[in-house]
């Protein structure tokens, strides 16, 4: 399961760059490159967000001793939304500067909310009654993951609300969440 | 063999997202995103279908003790049709809403039938007379895989027939097959 | 070295499908799908060719006990031409049916000749005086690889010559070479 | 961490080929293929540069005994710029022959400078006071890496300066750096 999952994470993150581009017939390459800043911002935000989810996924799998059919189904749903992220990222990159900014950012934030919900279901299913958890793992380790997963849905829910009023603020907020959580998620991996 | 195979499965699944997109000059991003529902449906259907085949592939390889040249040839054919799936998926995504729906869905279903046939040949070649099977594997495990592989060709054959009359029904049927078989295929992996 | 190499092989093979496509505004999807046969032929030919090279690469690496800087440089050159193959494949797919067929097929065959030459250099460098070969490997194993590598350059050289006169024959010849060599290359892996 | 990192390196290198292409409606395929030389040059230069960074990354990770949150954050930044390289590579490929050459080459060189800076921070963070280094690693091995990393920032800084005056020279210089350093970076891996 891990090879396939790791592959999907790495490929989804690396495919993001394909969404960035300028017109081949561009007359002012320098200016067009600067005008692409929404693409760069969307790229960095999603890349770091995938990085966080990957680190969390890796850590939780290391706590498990077995999987069952429901869990594998949920894991596949999780990979399906991760692999989908390059699409709303491109929509944001293309429309953060125009009339479509609100719709684009709402689609982006909604995808992140769905991702956070599935990731929470993924963890709670494995953790409830220690269903899939290895015997040697202390309860404190489970509570540590609980705390790390707790803010996911409300945070991205807040991004969704902000997106209604200010698309740009919503993207910066997502960026800040990723920049803040990336090193703390990384802590698990020590 | 497994590294290469796993890589092809993960990459084919993740490349599917590249087939989804709206016109960069879109005037109504929100509406265009909703109109893309055939793309989302095709994406989810193929992603889950690749997930099933991957789990089955992984399980059968774990039962084998050796491979031979014919088997590697068949395995390569299987990877070739798996890696091909993003193409008919995109055709369905682009044309499920227009006059091309029948041709697109027939091409999609035909690819799945070919995949199921090659996957069946792949398994029967390894299993007949326990040609490639490890000595310790009980016959009951082989019969379990037989049962799991049995419905593949007739099911996707039925999808092909349905595609003549109702493309949309055919796609929903493929989706239902994947959603139903994904957790049961996952059972092997325990 | 193997992780990186395996990744490049699997990704290059799977990216080939991105080169196949019909116009989104197609009026006759069924006919357009049939007219794409040069794409299907080019896809299958290159996919199987990459499969052969991967199997050979894997086998030769398994015979080595160490690598040196020159070898790694050559290995990187080999990966660079493998990762390049999707490009001439697409050119053939686009132009096998029009006036550009000869130029496209020559570019394709030339890339295969370069690949075969680099692959031969890769093997001869490792093998000469058993420079990188593990002590336990018998000379007969080395001669087996010699024989397998011998026809590469002349065969693809012949394809290059045929491409001048009949592009379509050249592609079918490449396909036949791959279909013939894939199972015999696979023999190494037993 | 290594699976994800290796995946990103291999995928970024292999995606480069997607940036090369001729117009499907090309009337003179042979000539158009020759006119693509900036694409081939940019492809080879970036492919080899990613190869060098990958070998260095692999070697330094092998010297470490643990990672911490700051290091993982920096590693993620490094992967983010590596995965970004296909974009400036395409800009160079598209505009090395026209008025946009200077802007394109400056963007390319600037990305390489940022990559070299982050790679230096990555190494210095791990190495200072042997923060993450395994106990058995001799100081001489660390000084060897120091020497290998030293020229990175000034070299790519020089490329940036040259890009102001002659874009083509800057690209050839980057190519020469890669061709020269690839085998010496490879030395670590023995």
From the list C8, C67, C107, the residue facing D13 with the nearest CB is C8
Tell me which of D182 and C157 has the higher pLDDT.
Answer: C157
Mean pLDDT of C74-87: 93
Nearest Cα neighbor of D79 from D46, D104, D54 is D54
**DSSP, res A99:** T
d(CA C121, CA C80): 14
Chain-wide mean pLDDT for chain C? 88
- Residue appearing with tokens 């082989």: B142
Q: Which residue of B has its CA nearest to A77?
A: B48
Q: In terms of Cα–Cα distance, which of A153, A167, A158 is closest to A106? A: A167
For residue A176, give every residue at least 6 positions away whose Cβ sits within 8 Å of its Cβ, in sequence order, or none.
Answer: none
Which of C1, C2, C3 to mutate to test binding with chain D, by most D CBs within 10 Å of its CB? C3
Contact A130, A118 (CB under 8 A): no
Nearest to B49 by CA among B99, B102, B12: B12
Which among C14, C22, C43 is the nearest to B11, CB-wise? C14
Average pLDDT across each block of 10 residues of chain B; the chain has 190 residues. List them in order.
83 90 82 90 93 87 86 90 94 90 94 95 92 90 88 92 94 90 56
Candidates A7, A69, A100; nearest CB to B26? A100
Neighbouring subunits of A (3+ Cβ pairs under 8 A): B, D
Q: DSSP of chain D, one letter per residue?
A: -HHHHHHHHHHHHHHGGGG----TT-S-HHHHHHHTHHHHHHHHHHHHHHHHHHHHHHHHHHHBS---HHHHHHHHHHHHHHHHTHHHHHHHHHHTTSTTHHHHHHHHHHHHHHHHHHHHHHHHHHHGGGSSB-TTS-HHHHHHHHHHHTTHHHHHHHHHHHHHH-HHHHHHHHHHHHHHHHHHHHHTT-
| Facing residue for C83 by CB, picked from D17, D22, D186 | D17
D15 vs A contacts (CB less than 8 Å): 14-15, 17-18
Mean pLDDT of chain A: 88
Q: A150-178 pLDDT, tens per residue?
A: 888 999 999 999 999 999 999 999 999 98
Please report the pLDDT score of residue D163 as a whole number: 94
Geometric angle at alpha carbon C83, from B46 and D75, rounded to 5°: 80
Helix and strand numbers, DSSP H then E, in chain C? 9, 0
Residues from chain A contacting residue B44 (CB–CB below 8 Å)? 80
* Contact call for D66 and A18, based on CB within 8 A: no
Residue A83 has pLDDT above 80, yes or no: yes
Please give the pLDDT value at position D183: 63
**Contact predicate A4/B10, CB 8 Å:** yes
Nearest-CA distance from B7 to chain A in Å? 7
The pair phi, psi for residue D188, each rounded to 5°, is -55, -35
The DSSP secondary-structure symbol of B131 reads S
Cα C33-C39-C44 angle, rounded to 5 deg? 115
The model's pLDDT over C108-122, given as tens digits with 9 standing for 90+, comes to 999 999 999 999 999
| Chain C residues with CB-CB distance to B106 below 8 A | 30
Enumerate chain B positions whose Cβ falls within 8 A of a Cβ in A.
3, 6-7, 9-11, 13-18, 20-22, 24, 26-30, 33, 43-44, 47-48, 51, 54-55, 182-184, 186-187, 189-190
Distance CA(B137)–CA(B128), nearest Å, equals 14
Q: What is the mean pLDDT of residues A22-36?
A: 85
Q: Is the pLDDT confidence value at C1 over 80?
A: no
Residue D72: which of A20, A27, A186 has the nearest Cβ? A186
Provide the pLDDT confidence category of residue C70 given band limits of 50, 70 and 90: confident
Closest residue on chain B to C31 (Cα)? B103
How large is the C-alpha radius of gyration of chain A? 18
* Unique residue bearing structure tokens 């024989």: C147
Closest of C144, C147, C124, C108 to residue C74, by C-alpha: C124
Question: Across residues D178-184, what is the average pLDDT?
Answer: 74
pLDDT confidence of residue A183:
63
The pLDDT confidence band at residue C84, using thresholds 50, 70 and 90, is very high
Q: Is the pLDDT of residue D189 over 60?
A: no
Burial (CB count within 10 angstroms: exposed 0-12, middle 13-18, buried 19+), residue A147 = exposed
Confidence of residue D185 (pLDDT cuts 50, 70, 90): low
pLDDT of C181 reads 76
pLDDT of residue D184: 63
Neighbouring C-beta atoms of residue B37, cutoff 10 Å: 12
Does residue C4 carry a pLDDT above 70?
yes
Q: Give CA–CA dist B146/B151, Å, rounded.
A: 9
Question: Does residue A189 have a pLDDT over 50?
Answer: no
Are A95 and A122 a contacting pair, CB within 8 Å?
no
- Residue A11 to residue D7, Cβ atoms within 8 A: yes
Cα distances (Å, whole numbers) of residue A126 to B170, B186, D165: 34, 15, 60
Report the candidate in D182, D151, D176 with the shortest Cα–Cα distance to residue D54.
D182
pTM, full prediction:
0.90
CB contact under 8 A, D182 and C73: yes
* D83-96 tens-digit pLDDT: 999 999 999 998 98
Give residue C185's pLDDT: 58
- ipTM of this model? 0.87
What pLDDT shows up at residue A54?
A: 87
Q: Which residues are registered as beta bridge partners of A64?
A: A133
> By C-alpha distance, which of B18, B22, B53, B54 is closest to B36?
B22
Is the pLDDT at D190 greater than 60? The verdict is no
Residue C183's pLDDT band, with cuts at 50, 70 and 90, is low
Note whether B13 contacts A99, CB cutoff 8 Å: no
B134 three-state secondary structure: coil
CA count, 13 A, side-chain hemisphere, C48: 25
Mutate to test the interface with C, among D186, D187, D188, D190 (most CBs of C within 10 A): D186
Query: Which residue of B2, B4, B10, B115 to mutate against C (max C Cβ within 10 Å)?
Result: B4
Contacts of C15 in chain D (CB under 8 A): 14-15, 17-18
Token pair listed for A173: 């907020």
Q: How many CB pairs under 8 A join C and D?
A: 95
- Residue A133 sits at φ, ψ, to 5 deg, of -80, 140
pLDDT of amino acid C133 = 93
Token digits for C124? Answer: 């001869």
8 Å CB contact between C149 and C18:
no
Number of H helices, E strands in chain B: 9, 0
In the numeric block, which tokens belong to residue D145? 């890496």
CA C76 – CA C82 distance, rounded (Å): 10
- Rounded to an integer, what distance in angstroms lies between the CA atom of residue A68 and that of residue A70? 6
Mind telling me how many Å the CA of B86 is from chain A's nearest CA?
A: 13
| Cβ–Cβ pairs < 8 A, chains B and C | 96
Q: How many Cβ atoms are within 10 Å of C23's Cβ, its own excluded? A: 10
Residue B106, CB-side half-sphere exposure with 13 Å CA sphere: 13
Alpha carbon distances (Å) from B90 to A41, B16, B155, C20: 28, 8, 22, 10
Helix (H, G, I), strand (E, B) or coil at C25: coil
Asked if D21's CB is within 8 angstroms of C73's CB, the reply is no
Report whether D31 contacts C99 (CB < 8 A).
no
Contacts of C24 in chain B (CB under 8 A): 94
Q: Which chains touch D (3 or more CB pairs under 8 A)?
A: A, C
**Hunting for tokens 């019969």 — which residue is that?**
B143
Residue A66: pLDDT band with limits 50, 70, 90: confident
Record: contact D48-C18, CB cut-off 8 A? no
Contact D51 C106 (CB under 8 A): no
How far apart are the C-alpha atoms of A109 and A111, rounded to whole Å? 5
User: Chains touching chain B at 3 or more Cβ pairs under 8 angstroms?
Assistant: A, C
* Consecutive H or E run containing B97: none
Task: Output the CA–CA distances (angstroms, integers) from residue A144 to A48, A60, A61, A151, B13, in the order listed.
Answer: 21, 11, 14, 13, 32
Alpha-carbon gap, residue B182 to B16, rounded angstroms: 18
């Amino acid at each position: 399961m891990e090879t396939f999952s790791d592959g999907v994470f790495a490929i989804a993150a690396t495919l993001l760059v394909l969404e960035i581009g300028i017109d081949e017939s561009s007359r002012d390459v320098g200016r067009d490159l600067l005008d692409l800043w929404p693409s760069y911002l969307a790229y960095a935000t999603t890349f770091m967000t995938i990085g966080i989810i990957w680190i969390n996924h890796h850590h939780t799998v290391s706590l498990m001793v077995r999987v069952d059919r429901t869990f594998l189904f949920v894991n596949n749903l999780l990979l399906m939304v991760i692999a989908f992220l390059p699409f709303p990222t491109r929509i944001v990159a293309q429309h953060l500067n125009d009339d479509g900014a609100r719709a684009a950012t709402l689609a982006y934030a909604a995808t992140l909310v769905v991702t956070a919900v599935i990731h929470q279901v993924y963890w709670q299913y494995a953790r409830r009654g220690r269903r899939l958890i290895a015997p040697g793992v202390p309860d404190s380790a489970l509570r540590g993951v609980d705390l790390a997963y707790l803010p996911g849905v409300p945070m991205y829910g807040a991004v969704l609300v902000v997106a209604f009023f200010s698309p740009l603020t919503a993207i910066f907020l997502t960026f800040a969440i990723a920049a803040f959580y990336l090193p703390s998620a990384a802590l698990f991996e020590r």
